[in-house]
Structure 1
């Protein structure tokens, strides 16, 4: 998010030099700097034996499936968001979440924090915000996700972790 107006008083911001940060939006009335901030979002590869949970969201990619994603809420850690989003969107329980890395999605100003997790229990109960959802063989996942650059990177990292742990 790029600040143009002060969220406290509503006045327009000016640019103020801030050492190694360079020019930063600044409110002279409230004497406060407002650093640009990305929206934190999680992406998780949920693994069930030799399968992975994939979603169909045509508004994201017309011809590709994606991993489960969601925004991190206020007063919530990224890990808590993983558990919450999987439960809300898929209705299943997971365990052993493991951080895989992060990516920045420039055009959407999103910091994508990526994880893998193990399926524990439950039947898929697709949320109304999801077009389609189901288990796909890990061996077919990359082919079904060819448009999703970050998602395919996550699946490759998850596959690498799985092979390391065997």
Structure 2
């Protein structure tokens, strides 16, 4: 097979993320394992890919999409894969998902409508043979913020979440806006309070579908919590030692979960030199 997008061709035994019908197809053994590329071809020809995703245990890892999910593999949602997979595999799963999403979103040129194509000289882009436009994988910058007030953290319930699930405030960065301004605006719009000292903590590629989440801590300054009701239907302060139980707040595989855990360690005096 000739090199595909991102400049490499898989060998038969290379592990491959297989996407079909919105799910990831894996082997579940003692841990989650990826099928080989040759086993993917036994089912059907990919409708997207193969895309080189990265390396795992010294082997290149690819991603491909099938039109329908075959028998013999377990179909998992991407969030479940991120929750169950080891960190390195989870990061690759997110990248794989974003590359497949990019391919399907750019099969036609957004400027002139012509079908796009892959060219070896531009391995990371879909190219338009008519107007020459190059369509690279899209990244959507977003901020997510832990607002703290002494021993308390501000958590909110979004109408789209499961009942009783509380999370941090997040939102997309608008054109011409700094990250710090986006933090203050999102907090003000969603829960009606003002913050100060927004401090960058860490980032995470978040493949739902193509976000780069930049995590902040920010100190509460003033204002009464008043949710906007269009997205947020409840927001309240929680002490670090009286948070919602683990099934009702973000998990450690997400940057939201890591920010909350770090705050708990800081307030309980167990943070030491631990990093996010």
Moved more, 93-102 or 156-165: 156-165
CA distance in 2, matches of 1:63, 1:128: 16
Moved more, 107-116 or 38-47: 107-116
SS at structure 1 position matched to 2:260: helix
Does 2:119 align with 1:10? no
Gaps of 5+ in 2: 1-100
Higher Rg of the two aligned structures: 2
Kindly tell me: are residues 142 and 154 of structure 1, through their superposed partners in 2, closer, same or farther at Cα, counting changes over 3 Å?
farther
- Any idea what the Cα deviations from partners look like across 1:65-93, whole Å, max 9, x if unmatched? 11111111122122211110001111111
Secondary structure class of the residue paired with 2:182: helix
TM-score, structure 1 as length reference = 0.85
Aligned-partner Cα distance in 2 for 1:110–1:126:
24
CA deviation digits over 1:30-67, x for unaligned, max 9? 22211111222211000011111001125223342111
Q: Within 2, Cα distance between the matches of 1:143 and 1:113?
A: 25
The question of whether the paired residues in 2 share the 8 Å contact of 1:18 and 1:24 is answered with no
Q: Does 1:139 align with 2:241?
A: yes
Report the CA distance between 1:144 and its aligned residue: 5.8
* Alignment coverage as a number of residue pairs: 163
Superposed CA RMSD: 2.3
Structure 1 runs not aligned, ≥5 long: none
Bigger RCO (CA 8 Å, 6+ sep): 1
1:19-38 matches, within 5 Å, as: 22-38=123-139
Within a 5 Å distance, the mapping from 1:1-166 to structure 2 comes to: 2=102, 3-18=106-121, 22-129=123-230, 130-141=232-243, 143=245, 146-149=248-251, 150=254, 151-160=256-265
Q: TM-score, normalised by structure 2?
A: 0.53
Q: Which whole-Å CA distance do the structure 2 matches of 1:31 and 1:161 have between them?
A: 52
Verify the 8 A CA contact 2:114 2:129 in the aligned structure 1: no
| 8 Å CA contact retained: 1:146, 1:152 | no
Distance 1:28 1:104 in 2: 31
Contact 1:47-1:53 within 8 A present in 2 as well: yes
1:98-120 CA-to-partner distances (Å, cap 9, x unmatched) read 11111122242222111110000
Equivalent pair of 2:166/2:244 in contact (CA under 8 Å): no
When residues 125 and 63 of structure 1 are mapped into structure 2, their CA distance, relative to the original with a 3 A threshold, is closer
